[in-house]
Amino acid sequence: MRQLSKHIANKIPEIFLILSAIGFTDALFLTKQHYSRDPFACPIFGGCEQVTNSIYSEIFGVPISLLGMIYYGTIFLLTLYSYFSNNKKLLLLPAQLTWAGMGMSVVLVYIMIYLLGAICFYCALSAMISTLLFASGLIYLKSHKAYKLKFVATYFSKFSQYQLLLGILRIVLGLIFLWGFIDKVGIWFSGGHPAAGFLTNGTSGIFSSYFSSIAYSYLTNSLYMFGLFSVGVALTFGFASRLATIGGVTMMTLIYLGNLPPTHHPFLDEHIVYILVLILLHNTKAFSYIGLGKA
């Protein structure tokens, strides 16, 4: 039994990648259906639309399925980066995040069965995936003797005030990127173009005609949404500092060029500040302060 657990623990990265990819796809489908409101097939149980259109399908206007996308996507990105960087420490966070996913699944299954009296196949699939992720995470944490989380005060006490400030600054910036994704994902899944509003109406100056010409490109809008999500996750959790910095600086530079010269200053606007903050965070090793980056 012990050898079996050890064998499974060694395969946890692959298990996490497969399960989170399936979970993300499932949540992506449910989010798209939530915004489109189109009728869709519901295998086996037949209660999908009753559940997905209920008052319990949103939290403060944000679809539960979208939160599921962020949850599964975060686990996938963290695991993928851990896998290729050979950083075992990084895998501890997604293993611990599965506790939150499992807790949310228990609540949602209770609501689905006892309050709504219906079963959504895709929601049940997500709950099953969360359970498998949770079980796999427990095995991994136990094998690394990390199932007891560090006391919060002890963790934060190792950072100076300067380091804590940089860590908080990084997290806040990451949440700004993530909220940009959450705010525009409804437009994207409804068949719209989330970047088109800015590229057609919010640009001016010497490059405005070029940006307007690519405003409705599928590639442009997909890269825009992927950038908001991936940079936001990397900044929030503090990993892949170089990739996050390059991605964030590239996005801010392109947005800056969309209004060149700036409207209220000869050559500066807030996007230059974002660029400087991103470079500062990378060069001061702020990804290791309240984050998973290497010090």
Summarize the confidence of residues 65-72 as an average pLDDT: 92
pLDDT of amino acid 147: 46
Predicted confidence (pLDDT) at residue 211 exceeds the cutoff of 50: yes
Which has more pLDDT, 145 or 82?
82
159-176 per-position pLDDT tens digit: 888 988 999 999 999 999
Residue 76 has pLDDT above 50, yes or no: yes
Amino acid 151: pLDDT: 41
For the chain, give the mean pLDDT: 86
pLDDT surpassing 90 at residue 156: no
Residue with more model confidence, 218 or 190 = 218
Query: What residue ranges in the chain does DSSP mark as E strands?
Result: 58-59, 62-63, 204-205, 259-260
What are the structural domain ranges in the chain? 2-149, 155-288
CA distance 32 to 45: 20
What pLDDT was estimated at residue 10?
75
Write the CA distances from 245 to 159, 169, 170, 235, 252, integer angstroms.
Answer: 22, 14, 11, 9, 10
Say whether pLDDT at 149 is over 70: no
Q: To which CATH superfamily is domain 2-149 assigned?
A: VKOR domain (1.20.1440.130)
What is the rounded average pLDDT of the residues 256-279?
A: 90
Q: What is the mean pLDDT of residues 187-210?
A: 88
Q: What is the pLDDT of residue 2?
A: 58
> What pLDDT score does 17 carry?
94
Most confident listed range (18-27, 90-99, 112-121, 237-246): 18-27
> What pLDDT sits at residue 130?
94
Residue for token pair 């949850």: 71
CA–CA dist 143, 5 (Å, integer): 8
Token pair, residue 204, equals 């001016």
Question: What would the mean pLDDT of 58-75 be, rounded to a whole number?
Answer: 90
Asked if residue 56 has pLDDT above 70, the reply is yes
- Give pLDDT, residue 6: 64
